[in-house]
A = this chain, B = another copy of it.
Amino acid sequence: MIRLQEDFYSKNDKMYVATDCIIFGFDEGKLKLLIFRRRVEPLKNSWSLIGSFVRLEEDVDQAAKRVLTEITGLENVFMEELRSYGKAERDPGFRSISIGQYALIRLDEYDKELVKKHGAHWYEIDKLPELVLDHNQMVEDALERLKRKARYKPIGFELLPEKFTIPQLQQLYEAIYQKELDARNFRKKVLSLNVLVKLDEKDKSTSRRGAFLYKFDHENYQELLESGYDFKIA
């Protein structure tokens, strides 16, 4: 881009702007988080979220996407800003602020080799180790946001494979809300929303009988939105 020649603001302070990704996944009925060992001083080798400094020529959300792609090989992932972390003393290296971004990824799609190469690991959300700086706070905030948001927006589906069963979906919501749900009421509710398409296929991996697979119907969801929102799960 073209910059004005003079830096009008030069009497003010500059600092580093970082972005950190809170990456959620869902596997074995558990919510999981992708963290890794920090590769730079200070606090080298401590557990940390995955992040990067924002470069002068890139948007903040571009920076977050760049990092996510580097580590998982995925593009077009659901990612949304959580909030900023701007305490003056948050980083012992030098004054920096970080924009937390949370991402939801499908555990059957990411590049496992790439993740391993970066020293990243999946941890169950309630068994996380201590993370550097304010990263545990970021995780806590992200989890709270996920809980609230999953209730009114169909973001939960971002954590499931394209095809999923109703019991899987219920397990996911139970993991997010951290409470058990009634199977009959849950099924009734999600089906009544009219945003699931039943497929002619069954998943037999968890029972002899097998459970029908469904897909999320993006078109019907758009229609639902346009006719005055009403989405709500559990």
Contact = CB atoms under 8 A, between A and B. Distances in A.
Interface of A: 1, 3-4, 7-10, 12-17, 40-42, 53-62, 81, 83-84, 86-89, 92-97, 99
A84 B99 contact: yes
- Tally of this chain's copies: 2
A97 B9 contact: no
A37 B17 CA distance: 28
Interface of A is mostly: loop
Contact of A86 (B7, B8, B59): B59
A83 B1 CA distance: 24
A92 B83 CA distance: 24
Contacts of A55: 12-13
A86 B99 contact: yes
Nearest to A60: B86
A101 B15 CA distance: 19
Contacts of A3: 92, 94
Given A7-B94, A8-B41, A60-B87, 6 more contacts: A7-B93, A8-B93, A12-B55, A14-B15, A15-B56, A54-B97
